[in-house]
Amino acid sequence: MKLRLVLFILLTILAVPFASAQKQPNKKAAATKAEQTKSRRIVYDMAEGETAKHTGLMRQLNNIKRGWPDAQIEVVVHGKALSLLVTDKTTQAPAIKALQEKGVNFVACENTMRMQKVEKDQLLPGVPTVPMGIGEIITKQDEGWGYIKF
């Protein structure tokens, strides 16, 4: 009788890990499917004025849109980065236009524009403004958007 009880306990102990291992792939597959359909919202904080940084940003945005075509992306441009959106200063106009066509939203900070004496008509086509760049970023974070400092 004791031998049967010991055997039963041993078999139960051995069977539990196998049973849970069999369920893992289903959970993993479900997680992968949920991952693919998850709505992604990302706000970029762009304050760097260097052309190399602007080029890197364009590359990263294209990579994200390639991997997650439905991702909502907003790039908040302020500080030294404002030149990225000024028609006669930017080196990225074609890249920005292509990204806008993919749904990426670039916005310019009005506080920075005032300080740098840039008018709205000097911005690239399709670039709206926000009163305060940092305020826009905080609002997006409050709404659950992921944050990337670039």
pLDDT 10s digit of each residue in the chain, 150 long?
666 655 556 556 766 555 555 555 555 655 555 565 578 999 999 999 999 999 999 999 999 999 999 999 999 999 999 999 999 999 999 999 999 999 999 999 999 999 999 999 999 999 999 999 999 999 999 999 999 999
Out of 3.40.50.11810, 3.40.50.300, 3.40.1260.10, 3.20.20.80, the CATH code matching 39-149 is 3.40.1260.10
Q: What pLDDT is stored for residue 38 in this prediction?
A: 75
Question: At 144, phi and psi to the nearest 5?
Answer: 95, 10
Give the residue among 29, 103, 115 at the shortest CA–CA distance from 70. Answer: 103
Give the pLDDT score at 29: 58
- Is the separation of the CB atoms in 44 and 148 below 8 Å? yes
The domains of the chain are located at 1-36, 39-149
In whole angstroms, what separates CA 36 from the centre of its chain? 14
Q: Are 78 and 49 in contact (CB under 8 A)?
A: no
Query: What's the pTM?
Result: 0.78
Question: In the chain, how long is the greatest CA-to-CA distance?
Answer: 92
